Amino acid sequence: MTDFPLLIADHGAVRLITVNRPDKLNALNAATLDALHEAFRAAAADDTVRVVVLTGAGPKAFVAGADIAEMNTLTPVQGRDFALRGQRMMRFVEKMPKPVIGMVNGFALGGGLELAMCCHLRVAADTAKVGQPEINLGLIPGFGGTQRLLRLAGRAATLELCLVGAPIDAQRAHALGIVNRVVPAAELEAETMKLAGQLANAAPLALRGSLDCINVGGECGIEEGLEYEAAQFGLMFATQDMREGTAAFLERRKPAFQGT
């Protein structure tokens, strides 16, 4: 499938969504935000899709940021609406019932880092650079950057990235917990798709239960989180996948999960 400003392709149970504005370093304008929201809605609803990989077209950028030319014309009310538009899309991705992997192939700056951070996992090329440079435009992050960066990297790193505005390399991003893995640029796609394939073969309902528990636990107290976890754990005993997984373990064979 091809839908400008996105390229969408299925590789078995893995859906690859590519932001396709390489001449603009894949900058996020309103149309691209809406297209991404619709693409993730479609992936969430498609039972043949078990994992989503998100990346940017071309060798230079994952997403270099929001579209500055479009933002330059906005009024204060329109600016707030633009921020909410991006936040709604990224919140949907964060709460997806299927794993989403950000394949960070170059610059992930401003809105690009915010887009990467809403993914569940991030694999970065060793040549990638990430940052929140909005301060250099007289702006602040608007798509959730201050909040997700705080949760991933902590207060000190968030203050540095947002107040100084300088990008950091993939190695430091990994040390701070902003990305999960750093691989040679030439191996980025192969390594990311390998990880996606591993997740695609895992039990879909258990993946969803883990995602739900982690999302809930990140936004509530530990007692509520533990109670939610126990309830989700119990629900797994109603699934055929749990019976298959435990039987396969006892029979010393690989399980064949069906998502039921």
Query: Which candidate in 114, 189, 224, 251 is catalytic?
Result: 114
Annotated active-site residue 134? The verdict is yes
Polymer length of the chain: 260
Tokens 């917990």 sit at which residue? 177
114 is catalytic: yes
How many distinct helices (H) and strands (E) make up the chain?
11, 11
- The amino acid present at 194, given as its one-letter code, is K
CA distance 136 to 217: 34
Catalytic residue among 70, 134, 219, 224: 134
Using a 10 angstrom Cβ sphere, with 0-12 exposed, 13-18 middle and 19 or more buried, the burial of residue 197 is middle
Quote the CA–CA distance of 251 and 156 in Å, as a whole number.
49
Burial of residue 163 (number of CB atoms within 10 Å: 0-12, 13-18, 19+): exposed
**Whole-number Å distance between alpha carbons of 49 and 230:** 27
Active site residues: 114, 134
